[in-house]
Amino acid sequence: MSSVSNAIARMILEMLEETGDAEIQRNLMAQSLGCVPSQINYVIASRFPPEQGYIVESRRGGGGCIRIRRVKTDRGTAFLALINALGPRLDEFTLRAHIANLFGQDFIDEQAAALLRAAGCSAALRGLSPPVGDALRASIFKQMLLTLSR
Amino acid sequence: MSSVSNAIARMILEMLEETGDAEIQRNLMAQSLGCVPSQINYVIASRFPPEQGYIVESRRGGGGCIRIRRVKTDRGTAFLALINALGPRLDEFTLRAHIANLFGQDFIDEQAAALLRAAGCSAALRGLSPPVGDALRASIFKQMLLTLSR
DNA sequence: TGCTCATAGGTCAAAGATGGTCAAAGTTAA
DNA sequence: TTAACTTTGACCATCTTTGACCTATGAGCA
């Protein structure tokens, strides 16, 4: 039951625990473990997904590397819950109430609140009939919440 | 993760932080780092581009040199200037370019960039004909920029 | 003053070095 | 047996390094 993938995952987890982030060179790691380089990608994709709060960045070319971090977030679940609770339409008043709520619970800072309000304000969505505007406001808000959840 | 290019970039950044501008002699620097002179140009082009606010001047011939500076524009002014420069319509690709520019010049942080992208992404504005979607994207972006300028 | 040349820096494309994707083949667990 | 998970490898995208060739500037000399 000790597959190569498990070994890779363990190595990454150890690095994460030690220093808070794991920076690896794909080819080197693959060589030292005797597997193909793309298996590293497989492990990262299957065991360190963004849904679990992992952030993966990489650089190609000479001196390239892969960096894995983890961001702690219970906020993420709150955002996702709100997205699911939202209907297909959203008026500006209700939007502002949601934003105030998120701000009050410290899930977003002042700037994020201001941006969310600006994107959904009537001035930004001017010229649309109420039903269309409300649908779009809901759509935009959800998209932005999704971004914040990651 | 320690390529020659990284070393060059680090040297230039240090000089910038110390004195506000970096003045280098291409051949000398290349020799001291054991690389070809044109690699200096590569690093300058790829890591100190004008989109990120860097100004590069040079003089050839005897006593020639390369000088790199960074211009600091006032945030508020930059946002207002961009709002004025924007037309009535904005496609998603151009939007992303603008956001990348703002981020590159440190006018917005990663979260603000993500929110701006989310609000203007095609998923958020789905179901609209291209001209209407582009108009709305421009409108929303301007409204958010206005918020950021305050 | 005009040449001429040595001394800088500039450009660009090819070669090299990494990492990314995806689908097929192999394994394992229910 | 089947569905999910692993392992591989061929091919792709991006970043870095190198080198041949080009252009601009300053200094010295006729």
Give burial (CB, 10 Å; 0-12/13-18/19+) of B84: exposed
Beta strand B54-59 with B21-24: parallel, antiparallel or unpaired?
A: unpaired
Enumerate the residues of chain A whose CB falls inside 8 A of the CB of residue B128. Answer: 136
**pLDDT band per the 50, 70, 90 thresholds, residue A1:** very low
Enumerate the residues of chain B whose CB falls inside 8 A of the CB of residue A140. Answer: 118-119, 124-125, 140
A2 touches strand C (CB under 7 A): no
Give the chain B residue whose CA is nearest to the CA of A26.
B1
Contact in structure between A38 and A112 (CB atoms under 8 Å): no
Mean pLDDT of A34-57: 95
Interhelix angle B75-85/B92-104, rounded to 10 degrees, is 160
The model carries a pTM of 0.85
**In CATH terms, is domain B4-70 a member of 3.30.56.130?**
yes
**pLDDT band per the 50, 70, 90 thresholds, residue A129:** confident
The separation, in Å, between residue B100 CA and nucleotide D22 C1' comes to 34
**pLDDT band per the 50, 70, 90 thresholds, residue B2:** low
Contact call for B112 and A114, based on CB within 8 A: no
Mean pLDDT of B79-103: 93
Amino acid identity, position B107: F
* Domain chopping of chain B, boundaries: 4-70, 75-148
pLDDT value for B123: 82
B137 touches strand C (CB under 7 A): no
**pLDDT band per the 50, 70, 90 thresholds, residue B150:** confident
Contact in structure between A134 and B133 (CB atoms under 8 Å): no
Which positions on strand C lie below 7 Å from a protein C-beta?
Answer: 6-13, 16-23, 28-29
DSSP code of B45? Answer: H
> How many residues belong to chain B?
150
The separation, in Å, between residue B122 CA and nucleotide C16 C1' comes to 38
Q: Which region, left, alpha or beta, applies to residue A60 given φ > 0 means left and ψ of -120 to 50 means alpha?
A: beta
- The label of the residue with tokens 């060589």 reads A31
DSSP code of B49? Answer: -
Could you report how far apart the first and last alpha carbons of chain B are, in Å?
39
Closest residue to D17 (CA to C1') is: B39
Give burial (CB, 10 Å; 0-12/13-18/19+) of A96: middle
Using CA atoms, how far apart are residues B138 and A145, in angstroms rounded to an integer?
20
- The label of the residue with tokens 């209907």 reads A87
Enumerate the residues of chain A whose CB falls inside 8 A of the CB of residue B124. Answer: 136, 139-140, 142-144
Among the listed residues B93, B91, B102, the one whose alpha carbon sits nearest the alpha carbon of residue B144: B102
